[in-house]
Amino acid sequence: MGTGVSNSPITQPTCGLLPAKSATAVVVAAAALEIPTAAVLVVDPSLFSGLLFGVTMTSPGEALGRISGVALLALAVACWPRTKTEEALAPRLQTLFLFSALAAAYLLCLGISEQLVGILLWPAAATHAAFAILLALAWSQSRLHGSRGGT
């Protein structure tokens, strides 16, 4: 009592014209569609651009396409319905951690390989790495407090 964490399962509200289970299926389908889109953007953004817009990207466009792919993957993870009870903050921490860690890794790879090194590349890589560490610590702490909150 007094932990502030609800132990009740997540309920599926209705979504306007769709029954609750149909709304869940739509969310799953939409999130699942973003995963291969994100994968193509990360692996070959020019292919994605060529298929979508009929033109390929320049090197800076490919870098932006890859960061966009990382963002789409994080979005898909954040939107995926949970089947078990979770603390409200945990999905947001997971999503932001995933985005920051992957963005930092990619920006570091660009910098180490000396590709597309602009004036803000290293500060952006450092900022994403710092946020990834802080978010991982916050996520770990929230999991510890959630398990201690008890049943």
Give the integer Cα–Cα distance in Å for 104 and 109. Answer: 9
pLDDT digits (tens, 9 = 90+) for 68-100: 999 989 888 887 776 544 455 577 678 778 888
Residue 134's pLDDT is 84
Contacts of 42 (CB under 8 A, 6+ apart): 66, 69, 70, 73
Contacts of 73 (CB under 8 A, 6+ apart): 34, 35, 38, 39, 42, 98, 102
Residue 138's pLDDT is 74
Domains of the chain: which residue ranges? 17-81, 86-151
Give the integer Cα–Cα distance in Å for 105 and 109. Answer: 6
Residue 45's pLDDT is 95
Evaluate if residue 22 carries a pLDDT over 50.
no
pLDDT digits (tens, 9 = 90+) for 98-147: 888 998 998 899 889 887 678 888 888 998 898 888 888 877 776 666 65
Give the integer Cα–Cα distance in Å for 95 and 38. Answer: 14
Evaluate if residue 38 carries a pLDDT over 90.
yes
